[in-house]
Structure 1
Amino acid sequence: MSDDARETTGMPEATLCGVIEVGGSHATAATVELLGSAARIVDSATRALDPALSADELLDGFVAPARRLTESLVTRWVVAMPGPFDYERGIGIFGDVAKFDALRGIDVREGMASRLGLAPDRVSFVNDAAAYALGEWAFGADTRASRQVCVTLGTGVGSAFLDQGRIVTGGDGVPPDGWVYPLEFEGRPLEDTISTRAIVADYERRTGRSCTVKEIAGEAADGQADAAAVLDRAMGALGRALAPWLASFGADRLTVGGSMVRSWPVLVGALRDGLAQGGAPGRLDVTPSRLLDAAPLLGAAHWLRAHDLPASA
């Protein structure tokens, strides 16, 4: 995978911005160069995170990869952060989502800005799944979809709805905030069925063995029945839960990203079946992420440029 990508918005001169992508178990920092119609990851670093750490430990962990970057001229940062989060104010709303509980009510913008040696107004926030979706929309396909939905699978289920590359967070046909993780399947939150912890737990219940999702996917590819059944149940549930929203939104493309998508061949069949059973649009283009880990980094930079990044930043 190349870290270079093309997009269509012109820009008179090169601009550098910093991106921090916070995942459920890691933080990645990158310097992204924006030049005319190009976006390029210049440098990046990643650090593992324990989402159960204290607030100060989490904030230290978020910015630690940024200190490892070689580019020292970056004075504008955007943070791709999972929800629930107050992106405008930079305040954590976490709670009852099995991650980052210590940041609930914490001024994350102030905490990160002070650690980066910047004023708070030099740090912006965007939803991580929205950043992923924007990266895929702007750089990850040969053609840009009119109405695209992106879901990211990993420690949770992230999502974003895009209309011509604009993030849609409300209105007819879109779940509140564009988030699908609160949706229910068989009376339980969707993440209780389709997430790494849910898949690992289901497999252990069936077999008595503890394996990673990657290992489960490998067994499914080899024809192991229990592994295949676990993944089929999870992906079928995802398809059935998403289908009504894809139909009401009028989506013409569904992109699936996140760590689990590396096992796409053993996921897509059950997903398509679930989508069909749930009434998804028949013309829907269902595709895996092309950019993978680069998607949220490039997408966050794209978002920052579109919102408030001048050429002199």
Structure 2
Amino acid sequence: MDRFILTADIGGSHISSGVIALSSMQILKDTIATVKVDSQADAENIISDWTKALEQSLENHAGTIEGIALSMPGPFNYEEGICVMKGVGKYESMFGYNIRLVLFEKFKKYIADPSCITFLNDADAFVLGAVQSQNYKNEKVIGLTLGTGFGSGFVENGQLITEDSRVPKGGLMYCQPYKEGIAEDYISTRWFVKEWEKREGEKIKGVKEVAEADKITSQQLFDEFGSHLSATLKPWSEMFQPTKMIIGGNITNALDRFSSPLKNQLNIEEIIAYPHTEEASMIGAALHFLQQKK
């Protein structure tokens, strides 16, 4: 008999959830639910929206579940299940909340105890899930999520590497010192938005507008973005020596516009765009649940 886990990827604007069959590590399509979330709202409304998505997934699943596995942005105390987001423009009303206990109260009829709810950083979840889907289990992989922020994860032989001299602490690239600030200041949507306004005198919302603009500035920005990305990755790439790099997130569609510096500067045999970021994050969260329960 198959076993199942309820999983979800929590983002800044919505939550996607579904039930995963552990025999295939596939999300049951009929159970996929997406609910918009106002991450600036009060805690009660946010929890209500998260609960709504999870309940919708369970309503379309006839079997039982062994637990709930969540892919969650940081800062977050993943071991304890406590939200510590402050100064990041999302979910600040949740600061100090023990999300594990809050969700257990909502779903205790489905699971045995609070330890059946696990949390994993969203970028780590993405790379774990993408490694599974790409069958890269015997590879050394760097996974990146590029969009509003700069997420990263390192996987070797199917296992997350977070505390190792070959990777930054926690596998976190975004906070590495770079130029006059940190890496994320130069590797994020806000860098494109700021630089476009500075050079073109126009306000834009995101990278899609840069990609679609028929202007020299457009390719200049992508070239510079690729150079910033390769420069921040190079020292860690030399130490970790990955064989593959998987890139997800909102900027994935433009990979061919900024991939040249990555290919020229980093000694990685294959660099791919993986557009199914949420699906990979949900699968990765479920894999983490299984590893925690061993």
With normalisation by structure 2, the TM-score equals 0.88
Q: Hey, what's the Cα distance between the residues in 1 that align with 2:276 and 2:179?
A: 33
Q: Hey, what's the Cα distance between the residues in 1 that align with 2:207 and 2:86?
A: 25
Task: Report how far residue 152 of structure 1 moved.
Answer: 0.6
**The one of 268, 273, 279 aligned to 1:294:** 279
Please tell me whether the aligned partners of residues 249 and 275 of structure 2 are also in contact (alpha carbons under 8 angstroms). no
Q: Structure 1 residues 235 and 54, CA, compared in 2 at 3 Å: closer, same or farther?
A: farther
Q: Structure 1 residues 86 and 164, CA, compared in 2 at 3 Å: closer, same or farther?
A: same
Which string of whole-angstrom CA distances, capped at 9 and with x for unpartnered residues, describes residues 213-235 of structure 1?
2222222xxx5212222222223
Please name the residue that 1:9 is paired with: none
Which string of whole-angstrom CA distances, capped at 9 and with x for unpartnered residues, describes residues 204-257 of structure 1?
3322132432222222xxx52122222222232111101111111122222111
Is 1:71 aligned to 2:64, yes or no? no
**The one of 224, 229, 239 aligned to 2:220:** 229
Please tell me whether the aligned partners of residues 16 and 35 of structure 2 are also in contact (alpha carbons under 8 angstroms). yes
Is 1:177 aligned to 2:163, yes or no? no
- Written as runs of structure 1 = structure 2, the 5 A alignment for 1:108-147 is 108-117=99-108, 119-141=113-135, 143-147=136-140
Please name the residue that 1:190 is paired with: 183
Please tell me whether the aligned partners of residues 17 and 301 of structure 1 are also in contact (alpha carbons under 8 angstroms). yes
Extract structure 1 runs of 4+ deviating beyond 6 A: none
Please name the residue that 2:16 is paired with: 28
Please tell me whether the aligned partners of residues 145 and 253 of structure 1 are also in contact (alpha carbons under 8 angstroms). no
Please name the residue that 1:202 is paired with: 195
Task: Report how far residue 117 of structure 1 moved.
Answer: 4.0
User: How many aligned residue pairs are there?
Assistant: 285
Q: Hey, what's the Cα distance between the residues in 2 that align with 1:198 and 1:186?
A: 13
Q: Hey, what's the Cα distance between the residues in 2 that align with 1:230 and 1:99?
A: 27
Please tell me whether the aligned partners of residues 140 and 289 of structure 1 are also in contact (alpha carbons under 8 angstroms). no
Q: Hey, what's the Cα distance between the residues in 2 that align with 1:77 and 1:153?
A: 26
Q: Hey, what's the Cα distance between the residues in 2 that align with 1:84 and 1:155?
A: 15
Is 1:213 aligned to 2:207, yes or no? yes
SS of equivalent to 1:134: helix
Task: Report how far residue 163 of structure 1 moved.
Answer: 1.5
The amino acid of 1:185's aligned partner reads: Y
Identity of aligned residues (%): 25
The amino acid of 1:264's aligned partner reads: L
The amino acid of 1:202's aligned partner reads: E
Q: Structure 1 residues 115 and 235, CA, compared in 2 at 3 Å: closer, same or farther?
A: farther
- Structure 1, unaligned runs of 5 or more: 1-12
SS of equivalent to 1:162: strand
Is 1:305 aligned to 2:290, yes or no? yes
- Written as runs of structure 1 = structure 2, the 5 A alignment for 1:149-160 is 149-160=142-153
The range that moved more, 85-94 or 57-66, is: 57-66
The amino acid of 2:239's aligned partner reads: S
Which string of whole-angstrom CA distances, capped at 9 and with x for unpartnered residues, describes residues 80-99 of structure 1?
11122111100122223333
Please tell me whether the aligned partners of residues 20 and 62 of structure 1 are also in contact (alpha carbons under 8 angstroms). no
With normalisation by structure 1, the TM-score equals 0.83
Task: Report how far residue 187 of structure 1 moved.
Answer: 1.9
| RMSD over equivalenced CA pairs, Å | 2.1
Please tell me whether the aligned partners of residues 153 and 256 of structure 1 are also in contact (alpha carbons under 8 angstroms). yes
Task: Report how far residue 101 of structure 1 moved.
Answer: 2.3
Q: Structure 1 residues 283 and 129, CA, compared in 2 at 3 Å: closer, same or farther?
A: closer
